[in-house]
Structure 1
Amino acid sequence: MTVAHIDLGLDETQFPGINGPMRFRPETSGPLNALAEALLRGPHSMTPGERELIAAYVSGLNECRFCCASHSAFAAVQLPEGMPLVDQVHADLDSAPVTEKMRALLRIAGAVQETGRKVTPAMVDAARAEGATDIEIHDTVLIAAAFCMYNRYVDGLGTLYIDDPDRYLDAGQRIIDRGYVY
């Protein structure tokens, strides 16, 4: 078993991934959790499942195993199509059975994951043509940018990844019940 690059002062098996650093520095975890709550669970025209799918997609592109696994599970428990849809988006966005609006927003998120400068007017126009609002485009960019930060936070500290899908699904239910701010 690997341990984080720094001593977090806790049992990492109980607090894998971002959970350990969040407990280590509560001064920073409050604002980080508040941002996640606002972006992923606050009132919005996109469902929480759709917004979690954006977070999972970007985390997958960043190869952040913990964030990809956790937010994929969080999306799956909130989308009617569940994990099969999430897996299809990860495998091949072009053929995944999502709406054209969602596909356009995920393309924007993927561009942000590389660099914000990769988002083009044509990508924004394509999203708008599929019915995306300016708020949806804004929040897609912000979710993607925030998850690049969260992913680097988790991986930069070398935190523990637990390879147990049930733990992530259980955590997804806790997110539905309590949210990110508790």
Structure 2
Amino acid sequence: MPHISLNSDDPGIRGLFRFRPETALPLNQLAEVLLRGESTLTRGERELIAAYVSGLNECRFCCSSHSAFAAAQLPEGMELVEQVRADPAGAPIPAKLKALLAIAGAVQRSGRAVTEDLILSARREGATDVEIHDTVLIAAAFCMFNRYVDGLGTFAPDDPAAYAAMAEVIVTAGYAREAAPAEQRAR
């Protein structure tokens, strides 16, 4: 049961966005740029970073939704997402992504936990300054999103199918569509 009266039965951040659409717009725009904008990291890889950080923060809604979003955009699907969430260093992913996930994990603990060694390790594996920047910002943004969702006690569905349905919308239409007023989304 949410801590405040929402005007929607939508789960997680979606219900919060319906409650306060004026804050939904910039937050969805940020998610759109970070997770779907131009990047040398794939959309699936960026969603994987979001899912990983959300899992570390124990935010069930964000972890489940972004795991589904990542799985829908990675050829290896949910099996890989679960492997990464359980053991990123041992998961069958490129060394550069492992190094970026180590940075994301450090950000989740504290921005000051991001050390020069972590940055140098990512650079040695081929990470660019933009990829490092975006990894830090994705991790920081998801710490905020996770605290927003959990701080207001939002509902998180138990059924994985609910997250798969959300993934279809995000993969095809993106986050910016979620920020549009209802009458524009209906078009």
TM superposition score category, shorter chain reference: over 0.9
Cα displacement string for residues 103-160 of structure 1 (whole angstroms, at most 9, x for unaligned residues): 0000000000000000000100000000000000000000000000000000000000
Alpha-carbon distance in structure 2 between the residues aligned to 1:142 and 1:152: 15
Q: What does 1:96-107 align with in structure 2 at a 5 Å threshold? A: 96-107=91-102
Match of 2:7 in 1: 9
Moved over 2 A (4+): none
| 5+ long unaligned stretches in structure 2 | 178-187
Is 1:158 aligned with 2:153? yes
Match of 1:50 in 2: 45
- Residue identity over aligned pairs, in percent, reads 66
Give the paired residue count: 177
Match of 2:180 in 1: none
Task: Report the TM-score, using the length of structure 1 for normalisation.
Answer: 0.96
Alpha-carbon distance in structure 2 between the residues aligned to 1:141 and 1:33: 18
Q: What does 1:30-49 align with in structure 2 at a 5 Å threshold? A: 30-49=25-44
Alpha-carbon distance in structure 1 between the residues aligned to 2:84 and 2:46: 13
Let me know the Cα RMSD of the aligned residues: 0.6
SS at structure 1 position matched to 2:100: helix
Moved more, 88-97 or 50-59: 88-97
Q: What does 1:99-138 align with in structure 2 at a 5 Å threshold? A: 99-138=94-133
SS at structure 2 position matched to 1:162: coil
Task: Report the TM-score, using the length of structure 2 for normalisation.
Answer: 0.94
User: By percentage of residues, which structure has more helix?
Assistant: 2
Alpha-carbon distance in structure 1 between the residues aligned to 2:38 and 2:133: 14
| 5+ long unaligned stretches in structure 1 | none
Match of 1:71 in 2: 66
Is 1:62 aligned with 2:57? yes
Match of 2:169 in 1: 174
The CA deviation at 1:169 is 1.1
The amino acid of 1:19's aligned partner reads R
